[in-house]
Amino acid sequence: MTTITPIEPQTYEHIDVTKVSANIGAEIAGVRIGGDLPPEVVSEIRQALLSHRVVFLRDQHHAGEADQKEFAGLLGTLTKPHPTVAGENGVLPIDSERSRANSWHTDVTFVDRVPAISVLRAITLPPYGGTTVWANTVLAYQSLHPGLKALADSLRAIHSNLYDYVRDDETRWIGGIDTQEQAYRDEFSQQEFETEHPVVRIHPESGERALLLGHFVKSFLGVSTADSNDLFALFQRHIVRLENTVRWNWRDGDIAIWDNRSTQHYAVSDYDDQPRLLHRITVAGDVPVGPDGRPSVPRVGDAEDYSVIAAPPALV
C-alpha cells in the first residue's frame, strides 16, 4: 500500500484559511492585499501556500496593478513578465484574444530558474466557464509505486519553449489557428530556451519531492522518443488525477496565488468566444535540484535577463 504524507494542519493567528478540496487548495479570508501587509500576515499567507499549494482570495475589488505588484513583491523578488512574451510594468496579460494555455503545465520550466510563485488577478471574466484547475505535484509523486518513484528519481527531462504544439492541437484549437494565436506563437518562440531538469525536484522550502513535468517537456534525457512519450503520459496521468486537483470558478475580485514548485495548472477553454483577461505577476525561484543533488542545467538560451536566481529559503 502506498503511504501518502498528508498536509499538516496549521494554526493561523492573522488570517482565516478554509480548505476547498482534500488534497490541494484553500481560501484565505481576512486579508486585503497590498504592499502594506504586516510581515506576520505575509508569513502566514506563505505558510498556507506551502501547505495547500494554491490559495484563493475573494473580494479584492480594491486591488489594481500596483497593489498586485506590491503584494507579490512581499513574497520575493519579481521576475520580468516572461522570457519571450512582452508584458508591461512586470505584468503578463493572460488574454484569451491572444492565446489559451489550456494544457497542463508548470510556468516557464524551459529556463533553469523556474519561478517560485505566481499571483493571478481577474480583470475580465466570461459569463460562464473560464475556470482554472491546479494539480498537486508533490502528492502525485507520493502516490507513485515505489518502483516508479525510483525511476522518476533517476530521470532527467529536456524542457523547451519550442514544445510540441501538435500533441494537443486537436482539442486546444478546434477549427484552426487564427491570426492572433499565430502571432502569439511566433512571439513565444522568437528566442529558444532549453533546459535539462530533474524529473523529481526537491522543494527548497519544505524538502518535499515533486514531479517537475508539464507540456514544455520535449523528451527524457537518453530515452527514445517513443519511450519518452510513454513515460510522460504515465507520470502526467498521476499528476492530473481528479482527486489530486482543485478547480476554481473565478469571480470578480478574485486573486489566486500558487506555488509553481509544487503544482501544474490548466486554464479550461470552455467559454466560447467570450473575453477573458487576467494579469499574472511571478516571483523569482531557485534552480531546481534533484534527489541526487544535481541541479538543472541550461542547454540553450540565457535567462539572466528574465529573472534573478533566488536564494533557496531555509526548510520549514
What are the backbone angles phi and psi of residue 276, rounded to the nearest 5°? -145, 120
Q: Are 135 and 236 in contact (CB under 8 A)?
A: no
Distance CA 108, CA 117 (A): 11
Distance from the first to the final alpha carbon of the chain: 28
Closest among 288, 279, 316 to 120, alpha carbons compared = 279
Distance CA 255, CA 37 (A): 16
**Is-catalytic flag, 107?**
yes
**Is-catalytic flag, 280?**
yes
Catalytic residue (choose from 67, 107, 259, 286): 107
Catalytic residue (choose from 100, 201, 280, 286): 280
Catalytic residue (choose from 121, 265, 276, 279): 265
Rg (CA), the chain: 18
Distance CA 119, CA 135 (A): 16
**Is-catalytic flag, 105?**
yes
- What is the residue whose three cell numbers read 478554509? 18
Residue length, the chain?
316
> Environment class of residue 159 by beta-carbon count within 10 Å: exposed (0-12), middle (13-18) or buried (19+)?
buried
Catalytic residue (choose from 46, 82, 105, 159): 105
Q: Which positions are catalytic?
A: 105, 107, 265, 280
